[in-house]
Structure 1
Amino acid sequence: GRISGKITYQSEAIVRIRNQDGSRTIDKTEIERIEYGPYDPEAEEQEARRVEELEKELEELKNEKEKLEAERNQLAAAQERYQANAAKTNERYNSAIWRSFIYPGWGQYHRGEETKGQIFMYGAGALLFLWYGANQDYIEKRDVYNQSATNALLFASTGNAGAIFTGYFLANSDREAWNAAAQDATMFFSFYVALYVANIVDIYFFDTTEDAADEAAMMRGWYWSVQTRMHHDRLSTGGSSAFERHATLGYHLYF
């Protein structure tokens, strides 16, 4: 066959030819003869311009590839930060929950909601103190009533009307005081239970820390993924090249 083109390199063993189909290297043992055409300055100038344009295009593609790789690295770094933040938030969330189960407000304080945590903790402490005092008063009033009831029975055994009336009156008064103490203890304990339940609901559903807001923002949003490949024929003087870019656009939304 016959091959036409420009000789770009020649040694004792090979000849390298470039034409419109690209660059090709041929062993001299396969060549019968080489025919040289007339020198065409205009064609040479056009070829030089073509080579210059190809080199310029190659440089632009190289710069674009570097830019896209930098963007991809930024996306990878953002993903790593998100994963690290998610792990940190998950650990903080779990540890805050069991703390609030032990004592109201401890979990909120631990995860950074100091004001809310202090309100729960001080409120729980005050209610526990009041409930303890009311419960001690209840026990004391119960013991007093039991003693009064015993005395009333003893007075009744005497058959004296005045003693019977006095014993009944004292026992009835002590019973009313005992009931009032029981109501106070029940009230303070009910308030504590209500605060405890509110504390559990809050720790599960009302995380207002900055990390939680950042995580919520990162859990939803647009993402842009780019893959770039470049092929270059080093045997070509001008640099025969191919540039491929694959882009993906989507939206993250997690529940």
Structure 2
Amino acid sequence: MMMSSLAEGYRSLVIGSSGGIGSAVAELLEADERCSEVIGLSRSTDGLDITDERSVQDTIGRLDGEFHLIFCATGALTIDGTGPEKALKQLSPDAMMKQFALNALGPALVMKHVSARLPRRERGLMAFLSARVGSIGDNHLGGWISYRASKAALKQIIRTASIEISRTHRSPSWRQCIPGPSPPPLAMTMATVVIGFDRPRARPECFPFWIDFSRSRAATSMPMMARVSSGEAQDSQGHAWGAFLS
């Protein structure tokens, strides 16, 4: 079973479904017999621009009903042909703003407008694709300032939003499995996946996984998302690591 912690006949929404990871996630969910519907949204198929609030609001507003699983697979390392900085002297205000717009602001706008679509009385899960290089405590190599900072911001956004959403959303069925209060319905799955990059860019510091490998990782790690505390991170092997801002 793909997502056995979710209700039978659960509905899924995949944002960024035309990308390498998003399409792989959508395919996995479509193959799950317990999933009754998978809706995919992307810029190429729906004109969705996650950096524009009107676009996000209008696109989400055209959807009906609740979604038990919302997976946001957006983000980029290279934007408009500009790759990550290797040194401070390469830092560009325009490039940094674009990194924050796509990797931090965009997911925040998605949270704002789709969180109301999570079920209040059933188990729900919202997941965002991030990167281990966004960890402050795990940064020993430097470089990639704009990208690292945008992903660190995303983690703080997710953590803060998860606390707020936990006050209004509960999961009785989950409480039966884990003693004590039910965990909030917002979690994050993460993996740095290099898609379409040349080999020279696939360095050890970015923990690259090629798309064919990432698909198999998604198949094994997605069912384990429910084991991670809300607002914390999970890598592509299903391992939780929550000290991302230490």
Q: Same fold by TM-score, threshold 0.5 exceeded?
A: no
**TM-score, L = length of structure 1:** 0.20
Q: Which has the higher strand share?
A: 1
The structure with the greater share of residues assigned to helix is 1
Q: With structure 2 as the length reference, what TM-score do the two structures score?
A: 0.20
Q: Which structure has the larger Rg?
A: 1
